[in-house]
């Protein structure tokens, strides 16, 4: 939960009226960022010809990282999208 100044809390708790219309003032709560996995990738645009072996060879050649065997998981509703896991923390790959 964010920490707000007492002034901001006081302002938000008051009733505000603008041109005879009551408005509600809320404190800003930033969105929770989605989880980040340093060794997982979401791959889109896969074709029927792309299997785990082909994808593993591509990643090894282009990015220098190894695909964890058995980690290719296809999306439940979209066969062109999958999540893969690679060995180690690869950070942001700019080579693909």
- For the chain, domain boundaries: 40-85
Write the DSSP assignment of 45-95 as a string of letters. Answer: ---TT--HHHHHHHHHHHHS-PBPTT--EE-SS-TTEEEEEBSS-------
**Cβ contacts of residue 89 below 8 Å, gap of 6+?**
38, 39
Q: Mean pLDDT in the chain?
A: 86
1 pLDDT band (50/70/90 cuts)? very low
7 pLDDT band (50/70/90 cuts)? confident
Q: What is the pTM of this model?
A: 0.57
């Amino acid at each position: 939960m964010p920490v707000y100044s007492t002034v901001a809390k006081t302002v938000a708790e008051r009733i505000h009226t603008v041109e005879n219309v009551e408005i509600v003032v809320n404190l800003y709560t930033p969105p929770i960022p989605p989880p980040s996995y340093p060794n997982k990738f979401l791959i889109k645009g896969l074709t029927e010809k792309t299997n785990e072996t082909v994808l593993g060879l591509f990643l090894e050649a282009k990015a220098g990282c190894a695909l964890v065997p058995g980690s290719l998981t296809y999306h439940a509703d979209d066969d062109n999208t999958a999540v893969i896991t690679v060995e180690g923390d690869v950070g942001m790959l700019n080579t693909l």
